[in-house]
Structure 1
Amino acid sequence: MCTMIAKRVDVQGSGKGSGGWFTLDQAYVSFDHPFNAPVEHALNLDFVNEAAGPGARVAVELSLDAARELVATIQAVMAEAEAGGFTDAPSGTVA
């Protein structure tokens, strides 16, 4: 049975594909059957720049346990960076 749980979020970042680096402007997060991961259902992440075409995509399929670990690790790294006074201001600017 397909879950078809899907959400879209605007993002600002970069991804690297076979043709090199490209700007990312959207991410799709879904929970459904994976194409390749060896699990029945997976958390699927698609980072894209739709204007740049199908080559501007980075896809990731994770087990639920791996996704939870990734979320916890991301939150821990962000908390440590913020506690250290670091920001995501563009390079060459003063925050």
Structure 2
Amino acid sequence: MCEMGPVTKIVVTGSGKGGQGWVDVDEARVYTDHPFRAPVDRAVMIDVLNTEAGIGSRVALELTLESAKALAHALLEAAGKSPGRE
């Protein structure tokens, strides 16, 4: 049986669009697990949600390890090019 990896919770400020439309988000959760749909045995899972609204507000991603690494690099690059970066 596949076990879920440790969950890293990150406080975020932003918004996400799910099945119910746009929602303000305040937390991201990153972990590894056996995916529901991604065609791999293990995936990096990213859940972004509004903690007050609960799991129904969740926007979820299942990424291959290679895709997760590419996304991480692209996010760092985009944040580095952002005007007014901190």
Q: Which TM-score band (shorter chain)? A: 0.7 to 0.9
Structure 1 stretches of 5 or more lacking a match? 89-95
How does the TM-score come out when normalised to structure 2? Answer: 0.87
CA RMSD of superposed structures (Å): 1.5
Cα distance between partner residues in 1 of 2:48 and 2:26: 8
* Counterpart in the other structure of 2:38: 37
Task: Map 1:1-95 onto structure 2 (within 5 A).
Answer: 1-81=2-82, 86-87=83-84
Percent identity between the aligned chains? 38
**CA contact 1:5–1:32 (8 Å) conserved in 2:** no
Task: Give the total of aligned pairs.
Answer: 84
Structure 2 stretches of 5 or more lacking a match? none
Structure 1 residues 16-47: Cα deviation after superposition (integer angstroms, max 9, x where no partner): 11221111011110011112111000000000
- Stretches of 4+ aligned residues off by more than 2 angstroms: none
Rg larger for:
1
* Counterpart in the other structure of 1:91: none
Cα distance between partner residues in 2 of 1:53 and 1:72: 29
